[in-house]
Amino acid sequence: MTLIDLRGSTVLVTGGSRGIGAAIARTLHGAGAAIALHYSQGEVEAQQIAAELGGDRIHVVQANLAVPGAAPGLWRQALGWRGEINAVVNNAATMPAATITDAWELWSAAWQDTLQVNLIAMADLCREAIGHFQAQGGGEIVNLASRAAFRGDGPEFMAYAASKGGVIGLTRSLAKGFAQDGVRAYAIAPGFVRTDRIEQVMAEKGADYVTRDIPMGAPADPQDIANLVAFLIAGLAPHATGATFDINGASYFH
């Protein structure tokens, strides 16, 4: 018997067109789930994933979560596909740089955009999901945070670290507030993950820039995160609701 069996489940994955989100979508689909694959700008990549996976268990949805109020529309798109959603993976994120010496306009825009995408849109989707999950007897939420939520980040990425700290508080509140409704909420806090963006950083700044504080000597593979998401969504550890899972090669423990 396969340990991870998601047949019959419909999962909304945000930011699913590349990187961690794409690995999550492929893994959940491989375990039998139907995937509502969200993208913001990466339409070509999202459609390529849909074509690759094929069949009637993949559906592409678009929304720009940087726009306030976009999340409920995304939820309606995803829900309208099959009339039911069993789990949400909030992976979409942005990471604009801004330091205290930058122009006010750049600083303010970076904070507004980061909090809107990484935290407010996530909370909006969770709000929609909770109401639906209450009506159907439960569901799972997995929110992607970051090691930066606990150890902070560089001065140019304070907004990112702050937004991911908010994700932890949001997730724990959801877990406590709606456990009696059968809702389970988990956070995953990766360190460096071998995505295209991190590959580019390593090429530009040298591999040591990324690996020097990782005892395992390399960034995590996106599959590490995807495997854990599948495990949690399968309901195999429901009493872990509210927990944060570190995936960072032993570089940090909160």
Two tokens, residue 47: 């459609």
- In whole angstroms, what separates CA 96 from the centre of its chain? 17
SS3 109: helix
Contact 9, 233 (CB under 8 A): yes
Which residues make beta-bridge pairs with 62? 39
DSSP state for residue 40 in the 8-state scheme: S
Contact 219, 192 (CB under 8 A): yes
Two tokens, residue 93: 């994120």
Catalytic residue among 39, 160, 186, 252: 160
Task: Please report, for residues 169, 202, 210, the alpha-carbon distance to residue 213 in angstroms, rounded to integers and kept in the order given.
Answer: 26, 14, 7
Backbone angles phi, psi at 215, to 5 degrees: -55, -30
What gap in Å lies between CA 166 and CA 238, rounded to an integer? 22
Q: Reply yes or no on whether 160 is catalytic.
A: yes
Catalytic positions, written as ranges? 160
